Amino acid sequence: MKQTLNDLAIFGGPAAFAEIRHVGGPNIGDRDRLLARINDLLDRRWLTNDGPFVQEFEKRIAETTGAKHCVALCNATLALEITIRALEMSGEVIVPSMTFIATAHALQWQHITPVFCDIDEETFTLDPARVEELLTPRTSAIIGVHLWGRPCWIDQLTDLAQRNNLKIIFDAAHAFGCSWNGRMIGGFGDAEVFSFHATKFLNTFEGGAVVTNNDELAAKIRVLRNFGFAGYDNVVSLGTNAKMSEVSAAMGLTGLESLDEFIAVNHSYYRQYGAELNGLDGVSLALHDETQKNNYQYLVLLIDDRATKISRDQLIDLLWAENVRARRYFYPGCHRMQPYDTLYPQTSARLPVTEDLLQRVLLLPTGTTMSPQDISELCRIISFAVSHGEEISQLMSAEIGTHAG
């Protein structure tokens, strides 16, 4: 009898997980504390416009990062756009393609050309040597991205910016609670931008923030996020509405109270994944420097299909069949998304490391919505799939061929 995919033990019958396990399930914190804050703001009827919760949240973020200023905004994309405008970037700005599309959009939206640069094989972040090769008279800035909470080459990129009179900011969407050489992420460059989107380990439902040590820049960003107002009835510049609401700040403050718990859970699962997948051919865990502070928010596997005999994408299809929403990450790369694929069609030729990484990354769920038993079951599925990689790959290809016919 011809064997089918359903004959394989794990993949036949009901899915392993009754509930869908999403990557980055939201952390909530103490529900009672959150509801108490919401009741407080409802009683005060101060719902937005720099209320006490937003002010307290900004103070706490500045204290946590060691930065002089924190300006809270409604999301990180607008935080990036406003920071770019406040720093008067223009012409060309060098960015990695291995980032969320918002990093590039924040530039292109303002008619600034994102120049996609390759990454290095150690950190998977901007390669300073490649950045230097891309500098032109039109270059006004560099945007480094701290990937998966792992800092990019901060010192080298900052030195490069200073030597060439360029602005430099860091997209730190993944890196709240992380450190570099003993200093917390947040105080580097002209500014750093955090995301507090629901998928981040510290979330404000939806939100972002700019942190900076530059007094003038912080003041300018505050004006730009509030329609250009500098005081009552005094509009001094063009601006937009990017303020964080009180309910979002209430969520952020509640999360901050449980920050150590969130990190401890993530760290525990990072180690559990590493132990249970250790020695599995073709599967490696993207490692963090445990001498530094990390949030362990992203659980990233790197798949080498020459060893696994099953491709990364086939493995993802099987995990989805088991109700595990594993993901390719940043695939297929900003440079292959629109409008950039049309505007800059030759970019991929100069991004060999990026192109290779985009084919290998697999992101798995972690965080407070998971349990140690969930992690073990997930690792069992991956181990089974990899140990039967060639057989499963052939069966999947055959079924696709059958459906196509």
Q: Contact 183/66 with Cβ under 8 angstroms? A: yes
Regarding whether 156 and 40 lie in a shared domain, the answer is yes
Integer angstrom CA distances of residue 341 from 105, 303, 338: 13, 26, 5
390 C-beta neighbours (distance < 10 Å), count: 11
Q: What is the pLDDT along the chain (405 residues), one digit of tens a residue?
A: 234 445 554 555 566 676 666 666 789 999 999 999 999 999 999 999 999 999 999 999 999 999 999 999 999 999 999 999 999 999 999 999 999 999 999 999 999 999 999 999 999 999 999 999 999 999 999 999 999 999 999 999 999 999 999 999 999 999 999 999 999 999 999 999 999 999 999 999 999 999 999 999 999 999 999 999 998 899 999 999 999 999 999 999 999 999 999 999 999 999 999 999 999 999 999 999 999 999 999 999 999 999 999 999 999 999 998 889 899 999 999 999 999 999 999 999 999 999 999 999 999 999 999 999 999 999 999 999 999 988 888 888 776 544 444
**Residues in a beta bridge with 364:** 299
326 DSSP assignment: -
State how far the Cα of 4 lies from the Cα of 11, in Å rounded to an integer.
Answer: 10
- 226 and 319 in one domain? no
In this structure, are 73 and 166 located in the same domain?
Answer: yes
Residues 6+ apart with CB under 8 A from 189: 144, 154, 158, 161, 168, 169, 170
User: How many domains does the chain fold into?
Assistant: 2
Residues 6+ apart with CB under 8 A from 226: 49, 239, 241, 242, 243
Cβ atoms of 308 and 389 within 8 Å: the answer is yes
Query: How far does Cα 60 stand from its chain's mean position?
Result: 21
Please give the model's pTM, rounded to 2 decimal places.
0.92
Is the residue at 43 inside a domain? yes
Domain-located, residue 14: no
Q: Do 67 and 80 fall into the same domain?
A: yes
Of the three residues 240, 257, 274, the one that is the final residue of a domain is 257
Question: Is position 9 within any domain?
Answer: no
Among residues 390, 371, 193, which one has the least CA distance to residue 281? 390
Contacts of 348 (CB under 8 A, 6+ apart): 333, 335, 336, 355
Name residues whose C-beta falls within 8 Å of residue 42's C-beta, 6 or more positions apart in sequence: none
Sequence-distant (≥ 6) Cβ neighbours of residue 290 within 8 angstroms = none
Are 122 and 172 members of one domain?
yes
Do 137 and 223 fall into the same domain? yes
pLDDT, residue 6, reads: 53
The values of phi and psi at residue 244, to 5°, are -85, 140
Maximum Cα–Cα distance across the chain: 80
21 falls within a domain: no
Determine the pLDDT at residue 402: 45
pLDDT score recorded for residue 22: 65
CATH code (residue 84): 3.40.640.10
The backbone torsions φ and ψ at residue 337, rounded to the nearest 5 degrees and listed phi first, read -100, 165
Q: Cis bond leading into 339, ω under 30°? A: yes
Domain-embedded: residue 13: no
In a domain, 12, yes or no: no
Q: Is residue 362 situated within a structural domain?
A: yes
Which of 221, 240, 257 is the C-terminal boundary of a domain? Answer: 257
Shared domain check, 267 and 240: no
Q: Are residues 68 and 191 in the same domain?
A: yes
Answer with the one of 195, 225, 257 that is the final residue of a domain: 257
Q: Is residue 356 part of a domain?
A: yes
Tokens of 138: 């039109």
* C-beta separation of 314 from 308 below 8 A: no
Q: How far apart are CA 241 and CA 249, in angstroms?
A: 16
* Residue 171 DSSP SS3: strand
Q: Is 114 helix (H, G, I), strand (E, B) or coil?
A: strand
Cα 23 to Cα 44: distance, rounded to the nearest angstrom:
36
The two tokens of residue 147 are: 């990937």
Backbone angles phi, psi at 49, to 5 degrees: 65, 65
Residue-range definition of the domain harbouring residue 371: 259-404
Q: Give the contacts of 403 (CB within 8 A, at least 6 positions apart).
A: none
| Structure token digits, residue 292 | 């530094």
Both 110 and 249 in one domain: the answer is yes
Dihedral sign, Cα of residue 80, residue 86, residue 90, residue 94:
negative
Judge if 234 and 295 occupy the same domain.
no
73: enclosing H helix or E strand? strand 69-73
How far the first Cα of the chain sits from its last, in Å, is: 21
- Which CATH number is 376's domain given? 3.90.1150.10
Q: Does residue 346 sit in the same domain as residue 219?
A: no
Say yes or no: 225 and 303 in one domain: no
Q: Is the dihedral of CA 273, 275, 280, 286 positive or negative?
A: positive
DSSP state of 350: G
Among 388, 27, 78, smallest CA distance to 221 is for 78
